[in-house]
A and B are shown apart, each in its own frame.
Chain A
Amino acid sequence: MRADETGKGKLDLPADTATRMAVLLQRVGRQRDREAFALLFRHFAPRLKSYLIRQGSSTEAAEELIQDIMLLVWRKAEQYDPKRAAASTWIYTIARNRRIDVLRRERRPEPEPEDPMAGPVVEATGDAVIAFKQNRKRLMQAMTELSEEQALVVKMSFMEDKSHSMIARELDLPLGTVKSRLRLAFKRLREVLGEGW
């Protein structure tokens, strides 16, 4: 049995992975449920390991980082709002910030949602949970429909920690071309998600 499939049914969990992960993360947040946490770990930790190694981490450092990241998941789970993000996206942001801190030794400035300076929130319309489930499917489809060169700059950015100029050097392209490919890829993805702004 694959590690991923443990516990399916045992806690009467939804079959759809994204929905199941959101439910588990909420259980951790609300009930400090260790069993739910272990299931999340079994699903995400092996993926985090691949992610971190692609970001330039050694396997040893990746193991340590996963400990940090999953402890942060445990401690911050209360703040998780399934209306705002998929569980994978929420965990991704924690992993990203942690690896910037540890692997690059740089700070990661973030806006504060409660900042009195903060401008008006753009509210999600309709049923956000359904919307994000559909979004995830549409996003998957949209990613496969990107041109090869657009998909490449997106992957190099998100998975290989490559800056605009690093991509330009590696692909031997002008900096402006890299930037416009990123812009076009993002425009395409947002069109598919129906975000016209």
Chain B
Amino acid sequence: MVKPRHHPGDEWLVSYAAGTLDEAYSLLVASHLTYCGVCREKVRAAEDVGGLLLEQQTPTDLDLGSLDRVLARLDDDVAVPAVRDIRIQTEAERAHLPLPLVEFIGGDLNSLSWRSLGRGVKAVRLDAHGREDSRLWLLRAPPGMRLAEHSHRGTELVLVMHGCLHDGSEIFVPGDVDEKGDDHWHAPVVGDGEECICLVVTDAPIRFKGLVARLLQPLIGL
């Protein structure tokens, strides 16, 4: 496995550690962490900030009997939620997808209702909860495909999971995150050879430049 060279900005890693991200961003970060040891270490360092701040909290008195209540429950016979679902893990391995994503969609890519956008491009909006106007979807596009030129009012994060994507002078392979900020027009091109599968998060509806793409917006709910 090649080490990713394109990472999400540190503000995403810090906020993932703080636990303030929407499900959509959180899933994209967790999926990137699957590929990236460097960012895993950064998240660990950021979690230490959380641990330190917890340690520094001024203690608040607990209800009387709080400790006894928990002590009485220690022997409750509950399965330890430690080992993750084996079936899902096998699924993830087979499909070469990060485990957090496979868990999130609860199965493989074929179980999703993909919408065709023409020319072999398919997309599916995933149901993700959160406090912001973030949107999460999966995109698959055939080799050599030029995706509609578009720009954003907010941020767009793209995690490549299969195949590759050329954006400007840069190339993104599985594990890489392509992050584009405000009013950056771009038209990524799928590399030759393999289908490209990406996880995409935006925090504002995309504005497609092309007319056809714009017509498709209501269909795919971007």
Which residues of A are interface residues toward B (Cβ below 8 A)?
A: 3-4, 17-18, 34, 37-38, 41-42, 44-51, 53-54, 63, 66-67, 70-72, 74-76, 79, 84-86, 88-93, 95-97, 99-100, 104-112, 115-122, 135-136, 139-140, 143, 154-155, 157-159, 161-166, 176, 178-180, 182-183, 185-187, 189-190, 193, 195, 197
Contacts and interface: CB of A to CB of B under 8 A. Distances in A.
Contacts of B31: 109, 111
Contacts of B1: 117-120
Nearest to A158: B18
Interface string B29-62: 1110111111011101111111111110111111
Interface of B: 1, 3-4, 9-11, 13-15, 17-23, 26-27, 29-31, 33-38, 40-42, 44-55, 57-63, 66-67, 69-71, 73-74, 76, 78, 80-82, 84, 89, 92-93, 96-101, 103-104, 129-132, 175, 181-182
B129 A85 contact: no
A109 B47 contact: no
B48 A182 contact: no
B82 A76 contact: yes
B37 to A, nearest CB: 4
B44 to A, nearest CB: 7
Given A63-B62, A79-B82, A105 B53 contact: no
Contact of B62 (A46, A51, A71, A92): A46
Contacts of A53: 60
Contacts of A122: 37-38, 40-41
A119 B34 contact: yes
Contact of A119 (B35, B61, B89): B35
Given A93-B50, A109-B26, A162 B59 contact: no
